[in-house]
Amino acid sequence: MMKFLFIPLLFCFSSLSFSQQETWFGIMATGEEYPDRGIRFGGGLVLDQKITKRSGFEFGIFSRSVLSNSSFIADFPDGTTKLLSTTIRKNYLTIPVVYKFYSRIANISIGPTLDVYVGWKQVGGTPGLETTEFSTSRKTILGAMAKISKRFILSEDLILEPDIRLNPLFSVERTYVGAAVSLKYRIPKRLISE
C-alpha cells in the first residue's frame, strides 16, 4: 500500500537535480469538518516542489484525530444494570502526495493520501470508567485529496497559501472537507544542490 507514495516521491526527488525551479518548505494549520463531530483543527509540515512553470508536487504530513464512542450495558453483582460509555480519540498522521498545477488565478492539486494510525487516548465517557486497551482494525487508510489554493507573496522568499480541500477516505466511508493555510519559505537553490 505504501508503494503509491514512493513512486511520486522518487519521480520528484530524481527531478530535483536537473529541472528544479523552486522548493518551498513550510508549516500548515488546518481546519476540517469531521463527520458528525464539527470542525477540528490540526497542523503539520509541507514541502512544495515546483518542477516546471506550471507543474510540481506537494508533500505533507499533518495531524488528524477521530472520536469513537462506545456504549455498553454492565451487570453488577447486586443485580443492577447500568449503561456505561467511553469516548476514544484515535490519532492519525495524514500524508498527502499531490500533483500541483500552478497558475496566476489559483493552484489546483490532486493526489493520494495515506492516514497512518499512531495511537489513542480516552477523552470522555462515564466518570470513573477507564479504558485500558483499545485497538483498531485499520492501521492505514487510503484516500484522495483535491484542493484549490492561492499564493500571496509576502516577500521574495516567503508566501502565504490558503486552500480549500476535499479528502474522501475510501475504506472507512469518511470524507473531510476543510481549509488550511500554509506559510512557506523558499529554500535557496544552493542549499539543495550542495
* Domain spans of the chain, in order of start: 21-66+89-125+134-193
Mean pLDDT, consecutive 10-residue stretches, the chain (194 aa), reads: 48 48 95 78 95 95 86 84 87 96 96 95 84 84 96 96 94 87 91 61
Question: Which pLDDT score is estimated for 192?
Answer: 63
Q: What is the CA radius of gyration of the chain?
A: 21
21-66+89-125+134-193: CATH topology: Porin (2.40.160)
Q: How far are the Cα atoms of 10, 18, 49, 162 from residue 14, in angstroms, in the given order?
A: 6, 8, 12, 28
CA-to-CA distance for 31 and 42, rounded, in angstroms?
A: 6
Q: Mapping DSSP to helix (H, G, I), strand (E, B) and coil, where does residue 9 land? A: helix
pTM of the model: 0.79
